[in-house]
Structure 1
């Protein structure tokens, strides 16, 4: 499968709010085609060739900055969410655990079940971010 199709498939499978954060592969590909379709470097207009080259480099740098900023933002969010999950676990243990302030096995199991579900969702989002990073890195090569 060609990269463009894989990228499109990945974008469709990710979270809706992430879809515009992916590499603008089609735009970059159009510029590559424009540059490569021009006659050989020696016979083409240097001004035209340099302009297309510069436009490609500019767009590529913009795209790299876009997905890098998004990745860093998500990474920071994940660090905060991880700490919050750890704090929730501690609160449940301190409140409803066997040595807690209000021991209750039923309430303890119920709350830990909610936390487990949130951890699974959190892990899923981390996997999506890893896939996002891999696809964008591959597309920028």
Structure 2
């Protein structure tokens, strides 16, 4: 499977709020083609490509750090104070569900990081 199709599939399977955070692969691909051509605008295309790569890396890093911070806050909330014995069963189900959700989102963040790194390296 070509990377563009793999990226599209990954984006579709990600959380809705994350879909616009992935690599702007098509835009970079257009710039790569312009840089590779013998066009008189090659130098401008190369500068635009480098600028776009830097912007993408900054965007990935910002998103990743925000998610990491949110995960830390959520983890602390989940691992907080012990409930009373009467509330324990309901609270434990809630805590387990939150831990599973947190783990799932951490796996998605790992996949997000890997697919964007792969796309960035291919650009």
Deviation at 1:81, TM superposition (A): 0.5
Q: 1:136 aligns with which of 87, 110, 116?
A: 116
Rounded Cα–Cα distance in structure 2 between residues aligned with 1:53 and 1:108:
60
Aligned length: 121
Deviation at 1:122, TM superposition (A): 0.8
Deviation at 1:4, TM superposition (A): 0.6
Deviation at 1:84, TM superposition (A): 0.5
In structure 1, stretches of 5+ residues that fail to align are 39-43, 97-103
Residue equivalent to 2:89: 109
Deviation at 1:133, TM superposition (A): 0.5
Residue equivalent to 1:66: 59
Deviation at 1:91, TM superposition (A): 2.4
TM-score (ref. length: structure 1): 0.81
Rounded Cα–Cα distance in structure 2 between residues aligned with 1:121 and 1:109:
18
Rounded Cα–Cα distance in structure 2 between residues aligned with 1:132 and 1:52:
27
Give the RMSD, CA atoms, in angstroms: 1.2
Residue equivalent to 1:27: 27
Residue equivalent to 1:91: 82
TM-score (ref. length: structure 2): 0.92
